[in-house]
Structure 1
Amino acid sequence: MILFFKSASRSRTISVEDNPLDQRESKNNTADETCTSLTVWRKSLIFSCEGFAVFGSDGSLVYRVDNYTGRGRRPGQVILMDGSGKPILTISRRKKLGLVDSWLVYEGEVDEYCSNKKSVIEPIFCVRKSLNVLQPNFNVLAYVYRGGGMSDKRHSYVVEGSYAHRSCKVLDGSRRVVAEIKRKEAMVGGVSFGLEVFLLIVQPGFDSGFAMALVLLLDQIFS
């Protein structure tokens, strides 16, 4: 089967066994038609790499991640790019200081050495894995803090659900759902695509690039 996709820079053609866009989602099937519905494919479009390819409702390539090594290995950094290959966000794992793992999110592409220097580049978000043994809510997967610190103890967003089942919600401080990960099913017959292809639904006002960065972080934590 031949899969065609559009990119801002050029068009490419690849051959794959299963095409996750055979049954495209024209729009999110919710009351709010302005939501952004993205199809996330846990596969790099470069044959020798692992990664992610993220498609819009029209089949265009929106985001991509190449050279991802998340299966049993945790790289120091993951770079989220747009469809043309331009770096958007860099996700860097913070050196472990205690029991709880955390990651820093930077704008653009950041060198791994620089990301470990506190005074050089400031992260825009810090994500901390939930340590459920210390939390009353066992449904919480991660907490998201603005900037690089957690000194005020007040998170901006919380991620709840189960990434293993591709069923997660990102909630803001008012408990409003701003993004959601869902299983993707074929539009005819209710056939599931499995865990490698799923939906990322982003509400208006929430950045879809950052929502995809949270998907990458969850994959880092729970793969």
Structure 2
Amino acid sequence: MKAGLGVNGEYIFEQEKHLTVLKTSLFFANDGFIVYDCKGQVVFRVDSYGPAPRDRGQLVLMDAHGRCLLTVRKKRPSLHQRWEGFVGDRSEGQKPIFSVKRSSIIGRCGMIVEVLNNPGEEYQIEGNFGQRKCRIMNAGKESMAEIRRKVDASTNVVLGKDVFSLSLKPGFDGAFAMGLVLVIDQISGDDYVKNCKAEVFPTTEY
């Protein structure tokens, strides 16, 4: 299985990894996240303004200690609502390492992820983020990461949409995956999901 783009080797795991993502309102609506591992330790958090003023079109993914790992920024103008990802805290003139855009195929609900330093590497994001049911797939249609509703282990109750699971396949960079979650959330917040079909893959239990 192809591992994919590596933003930070610290978050590339040898075994399948299950993270819990908490969507918060600490900054602006849609922009705050804290990500925990299975032991309840903070793995990632999101800063929407950071050391310098940020606009609504830029988000920063940090580690638990506040170190900037990845910046995602909306490209303007953009026909297909394109976002770009930069290693660390983006600086003027820095080149992005990946881009995300809506699929231009009529009737298709999804997004295309291009790895810019490797033109042959591409990912597809399909599903309904509003329902917390998405897949990130490589060019071979292998699922590399999945977003799904969180179920409380003690009560077997499905939690609210502000808490969801992010499952990573072995070798797929968690920082890259979480950067894509930020972009999906922003596009969904711009009324993307309501124009898509409720499901784009068969309903199954993951």
- Under a length normalisation based on structure 2, what TM-score does the superposition of the two structures give? 0.75
Task: Give the structure 1 partner of residue 75 of structure 2.
Answer: 94
Does residue 143 of structure 1 match 2:119? no
Q: Which residue, out of 80, 86, 102, partners 1:106?
A: 86
The answer to whether the 8 Å contact 1:35/1:203 transfers is yes
| Segments ≥4 residues shifted beyond 4 Å | 47-50
1:156 maps to amino acid: E
RMSD: 2.3
Q: What secondary structure does 1:219 align onto?
A: helix
The answer to whether the 8 Å contact 1:161/1:167 transfers is yes
The answer to whether the 8 Å contact 2:21/2:33 transfers is yes
Task: Give the structure 2 partner of residue 192 of structure 1.
Answer: 158
Go from structure 1 to structure 2 and tell me whether the alpha carbon gap of 1:34 and 1:48 turns closer, same or farther (over 3 Å shift). Answer: closer
Q: Which residue, out of 96, 105, 110, partners 1:123?
A: 96
Q: Which residue, out of 137, 144, 153, partners 1:171?
A: 137
Q: Deviations over 1:88-125 (max 9, x none)?
A: 00001101243x110010000014xx2xxxxx211100
1:178 maps to amino acid: M
CA distance in 2, matches of 1:160, 1:48: 27
Using CA pairs under 8 Å that are at least 6 residues apart, name the structure with larger relative contact order, 1 or 2.
2
CA distance in 2, matches of 1:184, 1:205: 23
2:178 maps to amino acid: M
CA distance in 1, matches of 2:154, 2:90: 43
The answer to whether the 8 Å contact 1:105/1:124 transfers is yes
C-alpha deviation, 1:75, in angstroms: 1.0
CA distance in 2, matches of 1:184, 1:219: 17
C-alpha deviation, 1:147, in angstroms: 1.4
1:177 maps to amino acid: S
Q: Which residue, out of 157, 160, 164, partners 2:126?
A: 160
- Under a length normalisation based on structure 1, what TM-score does the superposition of the two structures give? 0.70
1:58 maps to amino acid: K
Which structure has the larger Rg over C-alpha atoms?
1
Q: Which residue, out of 35, 38, 51, partners 1:54?
A: 35
Q: What's the % identity of the aligned pairs?
A: 34
CA distance in 1, matches of 2:148, 2:100: 21
C-alpha deviation, 1:188, in angstroms: 3.1
Q: What secondary structure does 1:42 align onto?
A: strand
The answer to whether the 8 Å contact 1:143/1:155 transfers is no
CA distance in 1, matches of 2:27, 2:75: 28
Unaligned runs of 5+ in 2: 1-13, 50-54, 190-206
CA distance in 1, matches of 2:82, 2:88: 19
Aligned residues: 169
Q: What secondary structure does 2:187 align onto?
A: helix
